[in-house]
Amino acid sequence: MTPSALIVYGGYAGHEPEKTTGLVAGMLGALDFETVQVPALDPLVDADYLAGFDLVVLNWSVDTVTDEQVAGLAAAVERGTGFAGWHGGQGVTLEGSGSLMFLAGGRFVAHPGGKIRYTVQMADREHPITAGLDDFSLHSEQYYMLVDPSNQVLATTTFGGEHLPWIAGTVMPVTWVRRWGAGRIAYCALGHDAAEFEIPQVREMVLRGLLWAARAAH
């Protein structure tokens, strides 16, 4: 049976939601996924519709989401639909429902200094999402997040004190996985825009996260 993914995209233009959606849809298509791309949050309220997909990707940031939309998504994931994404989409930059943070496992708080040079360290070199990947540096937003302690953390970053001295030495999860009922959830804080997907480790962690979460993978 052909695996399927729904990508809901929109919101803040700086995250290039249409461009990154097309890029990720192409990556999944190359692995024989059928993808549906919808530039609206409305489908999230229908748990039965979402449950027909192996994977739901929320590529929508800096906007508002409703309790009904989050409830529909959570119900589908609980039944086994995967939920995975990157940066500000699944990183919960959407206002209106704290329950989305509970589902996703974290919430964006700040990126001190804006785009800066920093390093990502692999915390788990055995997991399928990070296996074989080396630590690397990039010039991007270093996400400071509120993170669920039940997450399985796969990669981290350590904050310096150049911009906010009091957070120097803070180790922050960058990539994690978690469970929600029968569903798998994967998140990567990287992938600010389409250009960032040209970094091999970013591309691999995002793509592997999508595949790991998808119902068809387990």
Q: What CATH number did the domain enclosing 208 receive?
A: 3.40.50.880
CA distance 25 to 70: 23
Residue 85 near residue 106, CB atoms below 8 Å: no
Total count of residues recorded for the chain:
218
Q: Which domain holds residue 180?
A: 4-217
- 12 by DSSP, 3-state: which? coil
How much is the pTM? Answer: 0.95
Residue 180 near residue 97, CB atoms below 8 Å: no
pLDDT in tens, 69-128: 999 999 999 999 999 999 988 766 677 777 899 999 999 999 999 999 999 999 999 999
Q: How many structural domains are present in the chain?
A: 1
Average pLDDT over residues 147-165: 96
Written as one string, the DSSP assignment of 41-99 is SGGGG-HHHHTTSSEEEEEEESEE--HHHHHHHHHHHHTT-EEEEEHHHHTT-EES-TH
Q: At a CB cut-off of 8 Å and minimum separation 6, what does 13 contact?
A: none
